[in-house]
Structure 1
């Protein structure tokens, strides 16, 4: 039976190895080193803080689940409960001690001081052969806040889409019973409600895209009708007050096979950005044409972008509109490049203004299934 003194000596040995000790202590992540028995021989201060330990002796010679007071460890000891075989930390340690690098998520339920809580970690394990003995180094990243945020986002979008869609349905029923001026007024309101629903769905898809969780729904639709509909709606918005939107396109354009919601988001952001960049009295020109088994849209506005803006225009948090903005051109680039398999580029000159261009290809191959994961 290995004693605490044995693990204190091992810990001191690691501490005396200056390069190794500095590497472990300087890491901002929670670092644990375990021996072949899965017992801790080193734990960084971050680990002690996460586990609520005040002294390294509270961690040495114990398994990670024992340190964090995992409910499975409380029952049988860390690694000995029937549930441990599916534990991310257990699998990472096992692989690390067998010479394998491992990246895995670990979901830990904790019961401490008569309180129940949960911790979610991303665990990276690497093997370490040191002075003739096999060890594993674990790096633990707390991802609980990210997991909670994603869960709340999904609940929020689910609830708000259901609510807005229900109101839209009631307005459509009301539309059937109205006539005259009241029906004309509702005819004006309904497209904006549809736009509201599409905007919410598009925002949800953008968040899914950023988290690599987006699934595309490929279907054929009229790209010209989509563009004309957006232009008609934006002409009624405050963004377009005192400005003009002109659309130029062949009337017999083919349909586009793509994700309609994502294309809607890309075109909407292009048009919004152009309107916001244009002073009253200015005109935005939209030109849509078929090109290379797809479509290219040019969105022109009369305003020149300074070079300092051009250099950062596709950065995630950059914005010319102040703090808290800056997802417009970033989302265009993200969705076009990573999901719609297209391209986006721009040209800006002091004499002619700025033109953003987006090419979207036909996604015929993906259209055979209901959805694809990008």
Structure 2
């Protein structure tokens, strides 16, 4: 058939117009491929499979073109991949049989087959029986040794996989003596050494970070992906939880305390100074870090109470000193002039004398009040360092209640003391602490009003505590952040230095305190020794 088609094809080739120089060059490039190398010839066997016609006469329809081939990415390799999807990977069944067992089974079957073939020969020549048995035994032993030798590298790789699975990174694999496997063993041992070094480095860094967080006054709180507290440094636990309970494992919104509620309202990267009761102020900041590709939230808690207190104290000390100096000098001069004017009262007419004397008296009283006011301000500045000595807090509470008893009776307030007999002496400055407790109880009596109750209670829990509870209207939310601010007061005739004095005394003792009173009451002032 090829001989019959040749004459018909020749005229068609002759009828084709000659190709131009550029077209001929592009055709040669297509035949050679995009990388300049020759295109592999198409196999005729593939064409016969596509035809599937056998010895049948060819159809007049043209054969389908082969699928377009595309080069490998980035130009690597000369081969090409078909555009269609790759065929599915062939499933390999794992029979659970090691290569050593397979090799031994093969040797046993091979020798059994050879023995079966040698039976007719041994029957014809019985004298060869002993030699044949010895040859079979030697061959079988040598084959078993060879199988064991070949299976040793596989066993080494299996042992390495078990070490990785168990997390044992300090053990190393022994070389097998096989040139093909020993480089893999060396590479595996190097990988184990690197992993072991990385693990030791991470453990050391984690231990160092834990020590730093344990000793640092900076509080750090991290949340997991579900918004629960994952970890909290020792400095963060008393700030975050009001009762000092461990907040780990609990949602942040369910942690008791005012600071936890403030943290939930912070945005990423936002920082804020939050009042924390008892004049304490904490700076909180929210940030994020990546953990295995997922963003996690953490908070930084910094207590600024002492720093802000010292800064405020330095500011109002300077103001009080300057003001006190000017007022005292002016007051002394004014007082002297008023005394001189009072000496001239006898020279005035009888009708004008009473008004003149009354005016001088009022002026002198006002001057004395101004001097007393400046002395009260100076007391805040001149708070002496406490002289600690064992004192009975319950006895001090009874003394304060005795002093304020008449004021409570006039105001219609019930004042009582509940002393815990288990509370023993506490090292403190009795004079300073009694004055501070006097200011607190006096404020409670004035806040309770007619028909109210004020209770001074001592407790032996922990290292001891004293609390003053009144049934007044509570503390408005807008007033609470300014309670211990110098010169801030809600009383018409207040000076705003009472709670400032209390804060200075308790801070100098190192006592922790809080003042909380929800709207509607009751209001509780608590001091922890």
TM-score (norm 1): 0.40
Which gives a bigger RCO, structure 1 or 2 (Cα 8 Å, sep 6+)?
Answer: 1
User: Which structure has greater helix proportion?
Assistant: 2
TM-score w.r.t. structure 2 length? 0.29
| The structure with more radius of gyration | 2
